[in-house]
Amino acid sequence: MSDTVTTNPRALKIAIIGGSISGCISAILLARAGHDVTVYERSARGLIGRGGGVATSRGVLDRLRALDILDAGFPAIPFHGLRMAKITPEAPYIGHSPLVRALDMHCVNWSGLWENLRKRVPDTAYRRGVELISATQTQQESVALCFADGHKTEADLVLFADGYGSVGRRMLFPEAELVYRGYLVWRGVLPDGELNDLAPLETHPRFSFATMPGSFVSFVVPSREGATTPGQRTINWAAYLPLPDTDVPAFMIDKEGQPRRGTIPSGAMRDAQDTQLKALMAKQLPAYYADLLARTSGNQIQLIYTCDLPAYGKGRMCLIGDAGMVVQPLTGAGVFKALSNAEGLARALERPDLTRALIDWSGEQTLVAKRMLRMGCDMEQAFIWNTIDLARATPEDCADWFDGAIDIAEEYSYFAE
Ligand SMILES: Cc1cc2nc3c(=O)[nH]c(=O)nc-3n(C[C@H](O)[C@H](O)[C@H](O)COP(=O)(O)OP(=O)(O)OC[C@H]3O[C@@H](n4cnc5c(N)ncnc54)[C@H](O)[C@@H]3O)c2cc1C
């Protein structure tokens, strides 16, 4: 980072735009390789407290710990089975489940994860409250950067780790569109200590709704402080709800009456909208989960988009994490993409021919992301639009349906082998 003593003969001055999960992982790995790294993060107040839970695979978590990107004892809650379920007259409380699929999933607290990554990036290399507005590659194989506060600088290499609405992606691939998938995720968190019955939380359910397409999932994560004891954890839930594009403008209005693009953050949702969705879910979900939603406040909305790309970079500018190809959150691939993009890049930068190395890296990342996108499309069909009727199908029918429905990407999934 800026104050690192560089011994790498191929050391580069690297600017990372965005200091969330991908930005921090990249900064840690590239600084260790001897590069001079600076992170530029738009948010001035830090990212703590703004996230809920995030799921990834045991393999990804093990790798982060083994590389000392995360503390060895970083807390996570494992789930070994996905309980596919639906409300039936006989199972009105936690639903009927004809199918449990083996999982390799570990769930972590988003803020705890970010905090653990962030502490490995020195303050001198992490600049907060700076928003990039333009980046231009110059003839001399360097990139000129311009920030909203008027600050200007140059770097040998720029990594855009600036999330799904990436400025970098729009500059590099202006023709690439975010494609709305016809549904949104409405999500929230609740301390598990607020519930009397904690037993259903020990399973990882995915519900289909009683009479409409869509899906509901809930899982527990450690508290932000890392507590994993029942009664001190955080429940993270998410309801995937269809919303036709024609209804999006009217739906995406916040409590101040202002239109929002993509996200209505916690605290900004209209109360009447939240109440209406809770009433809808009371008809679609078993009582335990409808009650869980009813107790939650400060919920948020996110429209679901994907973005396909021909490459992960051009010249001396690269895309990392959600700034690259945007895949469905159903894939649970956010942390995996961040790690594999960053690890791949650190390896590529060891090669003598930087131009060739960046082209090869981009090709590899694009191939993997396209496979994740295809898996996400399968998952949308299986979990949102065309779920087998879990109330009526036999366990054998469900297993056959499930195995045929999702083509698991070989590089990553949260299902067990
Ligand atoms: C505050 C926050 C909370 C989140 N909580 C969850 C969660 O609970 N569960 C979950 O599954 N996913 C969550 N996500 C998304 C998750 O982090 C990503 O899907 C995934 O991990 C990949 O992260 P990323 O670093 O590529 O992108 P992101 O996490 O989206 O980070 C992008 C970063 O870039 C910064 N940025 C954007 N534009 C600019 C600019 N022009 N100049 C400088 N900086 C810029 C943003 O402020 C942000 O910090 C959250 C993201 C954020 C930012």
pLDDT digits (tens, 9 = 90+) for 336-373: 999 999 999 999 999 999 999 999 999 999 999 999 99
pTM over 0.85: yes
Nearest CA to ligand 1 atom 42: 131
Ligand 1 centroid to Cα of residue 414, in Å, is 21
pLDDT of residue 140: 76
Domain limits of the chain?
13-50+112-177+309-378, 55-107+179-305+388-405
pLDDT band at 314 (very low <50, low <70, confident <90, very high): very high
pLDDT of residue 1: 61
Same-fold call for 13-50+112-177+309-378 versus 55-107+179-305+388-405: no
Q: Is a pLDDT exceeding 80 seen at residue 417?
A: no
Q: Is a pLDDT exceeding 80 seen at residue 51?
A: no
Ligand 1: residue of 17, 21, 414 to mutate (most ligand atoms within 8 A of CB) is: 21
Between CA 55 and CA 294 the distance in angstroms is 23
Between CA 258 and CA 64 the distance in angstroms is 40
Nearest CA to ligand 1 atom 27: 163
Ligand 1 centroid to Cα of residue 168, in Å, is 14
pLDDT band at 3 (very low <50, low <70, confident <90, very high): very low
Mean pLDDT of 115-122: 97
Does the domain at residues 55-107+179-305+388-405 carry the CATH identifier 3.30.9.60?
yes
φ, ψ at 379 (rounded to 5°)? -65, -40
Ligand 1 centroid to Cα of residue 300, in Å, is 15
pLDDT over 90 percentage in the chain:
94
The whole-chain average pLDDT of the chain stands at 95
**Residue 196 C-beta-side C-alpha neighbours within 13 Å:** 2
Q: Closest ligand 1 atom to the C-alpha of 337?
A: 22
Ligand 1: residue of 16, 20, 146, 299 to mutate (most ligand atoms within 8 A of CB) is: 20
Is the model more confident about 6 or about 224? Answer: 224
Hey, what CATH class is 13-50+112-177+309-378 in? Answer: alpha beta
Ligand 1 centroid to Cα of residue 263, in Å, is 12
Tokens 């839930």 found at: 237
Ligand 1 centroid to Cα of residue 352, in Å, is 32
Ligand 1 contacts (CB < 6 A) are 17-23, 40-43, 47, 50-54, 110, 131-132, 161-163, 167, 321-323, 334-335, 338
Nearest CA to ligand 1 atom 11: 54
pLDDT tens digits along 58-116: 999 999 999 999 999 999 999 999 999 999 999 999 999 999 999 999 999 999 999 99
Ligand 1 centroid to Cα of residue 353, in Å, is 31
Alpha carbon of 62 to those of 70, 104, 272, 289: distances in Å?
9, 12, 43, 31
Ligand 1 centroid to Cα of residue 19, in Å, is 8
Q: What is the 3-state secondary structure (H, E, C) of the chain?
A: CCCCCCCCCCCCEEEEECCCHHHHHHHHHHHHCCCEEEEEECCCCCCCCCCCEEEEEHHHHHHHHHCCCCCCCCCCEEEEEEEEEEEECCEEEEEEEEEEEEEEEEEEEHHHHHHHHHCCCCHHHEEECCCEEEEEECCCCCEEEEECCCCEEEECEEEECCCCCCHHHHHHCCCCCCEEEEEEEEEEEEEHHHCCCCHHHHCEEEECCCCCCCEEEEEEECCCCCCCCCCCCEEEEEEEEECCHHHHHHHCECCCCCECCCEECCCCCCHHHHHHHHHHHHHHCCHHHHHHHHCCCCCEEEEEEEECCCCCEECCEEECHHHCCECCHHHCCHHHHHHHHHHHHHHHCCCCCHHHHHHHHHHHHHHHHHHHHHHHHHHHHHHHHCCCCCCCCCHHHHHHHHHHHCCCCCCCCCECC
Tokens 């600049």 found at: 127
Nearest CA to ligand 1 atom 21: 334
Ligand 1 centroid to Cα of residue 21, in Å, is 7
Ligand 1 centroid to Cα of residue 264, in Å, is 14
pLDDT tens digits along 138-185: 877 899 999 999 999 999 999 999 999 999 999 999 999 999 999 999
Report angle CA 108, 307, 359 to the nearest 5 degrees. Answer: 95
